[in-house]
Structure 1
Amino acid sequence: AMPALRSLVLSARFLAVVILGNIVALLLLLVPGVNIAAFFIVNGYLLGREFFEFAAMRFRGEEEARALRRHYAGTVFLAGLLIAAFLAVPLLNLLTPLFAAAVMVHLHKAISVREVARSSRR
């Protein structure tokens, strides 16, 4: 289990990223057409980042999980876009945390298998 103080620090750091991302999205809200893209890009990044790191930290250390997310940033972002699309559907969005956790656990497992295969080829 992660210590409560460390968990609080990680949550505060993520809150700062969420605020910054949403300020940018809010500024783009007034630009027609761009506002929809901004919603999906910001939420895809934020949801992908957090849910992947939380899933990865169940099996790895904090730094290793962050490094893995950075290495597979494109894949994690695309999974985050999938979660953001799920979030955009009324009533279905109530299940977003369950869906996001399941997607990211499966993604982490798939990436872990890929990492093992890649390291055995060396």
Structure 2
Amino acid sequence: MGVLVDFGRALGQLGDPRFLRILGWSLLVTLAGLAALFWAVMTGLGAVLPETVTLPWLGSVTFIDTLVDWAAVALMLALSVVLMVPVAAGVVGFFLEGVAEAVEARHYPHLPPARSLGLAEQVGDALRFFLIVCAANLVGLVIYFSVAPLAPVIFWVVNGFLLGREYFQLVATRRLGRAAAADLGRRHFWRTWVVGTAMAIPLSVPILNLIVPILGVAVFTHQYHRLAGDAET
């Protein structure tokens, strides 16, 4: 029941100006990154593929290059669902502290300020999380194609585990330090995995997956304070 309450509180704060500002920056950076990747792929294909192909009996054919371009567009659109997970998660990692501070300012104003994560620490954590999620989803691509009917479930379970573990530890680190936060995360392993999986499900929905990481940080901020005994009744 507490998890549903925390989801409700996180959803209720999505209109917070601090959340909207972070969402705006996340959207801008994420779309810019995907656009740069798309441009790089299309430019690479354009440099490798000839403009015309000569076929027996048909002579010079020009439409093959166009077909390959459209196939590349379709492939990038399909992959964007998978790519959006590490990109969005990594980008929001840079703004995690702002989300947690906004939640605590509204719901836990009686608590002393948390330890501020330095810029180098935030960048390091965000890059580490980004690389972990990237690696897991690249490996997952092989599994998705080999057991296609189970691909959505595998996607949700794998990313749910990663989101739950990383977001909870990152939030808890602000209050406890790394060692104690990791220990608390291990003691509540199944809880963080279940909550993370619930957030991973809408990650497969374009546009909505930009909001999920912000919502996830907010939910896990509430979850941490609930476990610490600070949560509102």
Question: Do both proteins adopt the same fold according to a TM-score greater than 0.5, normalized to the shorter chain?
Answer: yes
Distance 1:47 1:105 in 2: 13
Per-residue CA distance 1:67-88 (angstroms, 9 max, x = gap): 1111111000011011112323
- The TM-score normalised by the length of structure 2 is 0.44
TM-score computed with the length of structure 1 as normaliser: 0.78
RMSD, matched Cα: 2.1
Number of the residue aligned with 2:164: 48
Distance 2:178 2:229 in 1: 19
Identity of aligned residues (%): 31
Instruction: Return the match for 1:21 from 120, 131, 136.
Output: 136
Q: Against the structure 1 CA distance between its residues 15 and 102, is the aligned structure 2 distance closer, same or farther, given a 3 Å change threshold?
A: closer
Q: Does 1:61 align with 2:166?
A: no
Structure 1, residues 33-72: CA drift from partner, whole Å, max 9, x if none?
A: 2211221011101111221112112211111111111111
When structure 1 is superposed on structure 2, of 27-36 and 17-26 the one drifting more is: 17-26
Name 1:92's counterpart in structure 2: 208
Pair 1:11–1:102, CA change in 2 (3 A): closer
* Number of residue-to-residue matches in the alignment: 114
Q: How far, CA to CA, are the matches of 1:94 and 1:104 in structure 2?
A: 17
**Alignment partner, residue 120 of structure 1:** none
- Report the structure number with the largest CA radius of gyration: 2
Q: For residues 91 and 11 of structure 1, what CA distance do their matches in structure 2 show?
A: 21
